[in-house]
Amino acid sequence: MEWFQILSMSLQSILTIIINPLFWAVILLIYTQYKKITRMEIELLGEEKATAKERVFYSLGVGMLGGILGTVVMVVLGVTIEIKDFTLILPLAILLMLINVRYLCFSYAGGIIALTSLVFGFPDVNVSSIIAIVAVLHLVESILIWIDGHKHPTPVFVEHDIYGTVGGFTLQRFWPIPFAVLLAIAGKLQGATDISLPDWWPLFIADKLDLDNVTLQLSVVVAALGYGDIAITSSPKEKSRKSSMRLAIYSIVLLILSAISSYIHTFKYIAALFALLAHEGLIIYSQKEERNKRPIYKNQIKGITVLDVKRGSIAEKIGLKPGYTIWKVNNYLMNDKEDLIYILRQFPTYLWIDVVDEKGNNMILEYTDYRNGVGALGAIIIPRKSDVVVNLNQNVSIIKNLFRKIIKRDKNDF
């Protein structure tokens, strides 16, 4: 009954996030990131796969679910912080994001603050609780990546050392995560609810705090989680599921280390270092994996390869899918996307398409439009050579891009 009462209070408190200005600032930040993605899609594809508003709305729903899951885990474990423990994490995460978008991650911000506190004594924070929050948020993130990480992938072209121009998908998702935490406040407050819970609870609380003279108060804070990856050697769904499993393992190990660090001081250093280095190791390993394995979206010796199909297009209606190879269209052999363009410029009233799926099965897809003819298929074809390619080693720095724009504008002024 006591657990139900405290969880009910926690979940009710999450609803108050709608009046928090910081929550809407995070929403605006996420919207600007999605706006950049849609601009890139228009540049590459001629249209956006989904509007920035659609992406924000979907991310908001998924993020609220993540906040509920995170709240349940943190309250059950008794992750207790002082208000000063959390005030620096989100601003530092946003600052790191300006250096590189993929640094919008609490493992970096939390790890840096924890190490700074351990080495220099400033800021004076509860390291075990900080690392526990990082672990729980990444556990939530692993679930969100499993559910949402593959949604709205952006098709891109990449220059491969062996296979030339190949296709791939960038996966970029951002989620606002409102969750309830337990704040430790010195002294007893009048009107506070007295709830009897196990002796071990709360598990994460600063050694210097005396539970007999401390009031635990529920408060709602907001975090921003981001997932960035690229899928070249697997489909977006397979890639996100693989990343999700790895991140879940990382989160569980980090949570165990943070729990041990509540009792053994040396493990505070181990947990803080693991938060930073293991997370960075996961990213480096994933990037290396994409460079070294065989890409699945590549050109064959004959035919043209479909990378993606546009929403509501003829290609989608007739069943063309990423990875399919088009051999013939109306009995004309296809060797480059220019061959397909040549056929469509004649506005044929009937299309007879010979394709081979990813498993090597031959199929025939048909479409007719006797009134208007077919002028566009809506399929994104991997070119033999493309001038618009993505550099896998490129760092997306908001500060650097802003600096370049300022320099460019100054040069144009002369």
The rounded mean pLDDT for the chain is 81
List the structure tokens of 149.
């990480």
Dihedral sign for Cα atoms in the order 14, 19, 24, 27: positive
What pLDDT was estimated at residue 68?
A: 84
Q: At 12, is the secondary structure helix, strand, or coil?
A: helix
Nearest to 230 by CA among 403, 389, 71, 65: 389
- Residues contacting 9, CB < 8 A, separation 6+: 193, 218
362-412: per-residue pLDDT in tens?
999 999 998 888 988 989 999 887 655 665 555 454 444 444 443 344 443
**335 in Cβ contact with 354 (< 8 Å):** no
- Residues contacting 182, CB < 8 A, separation 6+: 74, 75, 78, 79, 80, 81, 202, 216, 217, 218, 219
With pLDDT > 90 as the criterion, what percentage of the chain qualifies?
33
What pLDDT was estimated at residue 186?
A: 52
Alpha helices in 106-183, H assignment, sequence order? 106-120, 127-148
Mean pLDDT of 289-293: 83
Q: Taking the mean position of all CA atoms in its chain, how far away is CA 101? A: 11
Q: How far apart are CA 256 and CA 204, in angstroms?
A: 12
List the structure tokens of 309.
């199909």
For residues 230 and 202, which has the higher predicted lDDT (pLDDT)? 230
What pLDDT was estimated at residue 206?
A: 56
Mean pLDDT of 95-105: 74
Mean pLDDT of 315-343: 92
Q: How far apart are CA 38 and CA 173, in angstroms?
A: 12
What pLDDT was estimated at residue 404?
A: 46
Q: How far apart are CA 308 and CA 297, in angstroms?
A: 10
For residues 155 and 221, which has the higher predicted lDDT (pLDDT)? 155
CA atoms within 13 A on the CB side of 21: 0
Give me the count of residues in the chain.
414
Is the pLDDT confidence value at 244 over 90? yes
Mean pLDDT of 176-180: 84
Where b means 16+ CB within 10 Å and e means fewer, 336-369 reads ebebbeebbeeebeebebbbbeeeeeeeebebee
What pLDDT was estimated at residue 126?
A: 82
List the structure tokens of 168.
């791939």
For residues 106 and 259, which has the higher predicted lDDT (pLDDT)? 259
What pLDDT was estimated at residue 408?
A: 42
19-66: per-residue pLDDT in tens?
788 888 889 989 998 998 898 888 777 778 889 999 999 999 999 888
CA atoms within 13 A on the CB side of 235: 10
270-279: per-residue pLDDT in tens?
999 999 999 9
What pLDDT was estimated at residue 98?
A: 76
User: What's the fold here for domain 304-381?
Assistant: Pdz3 Domain (2.30.42)
Residues of the chain with CATH 2.30.42.10: 304-381
Of 158-172, 218-232, 314-328, least confident by mean pLDDT is 218-232
For residues 264 and 103, which has the higher predicted lDDT (pLDDT)? 264
With pLDDT > 70 as the criterion, what percentage of the chain qualifies?
80
Q: What is this structure's pTM? A: 0.80
**305 in Cβ contact with 381 (< 8 Å):** yes
What pLDDT was estimated at residue 142?
A: 94
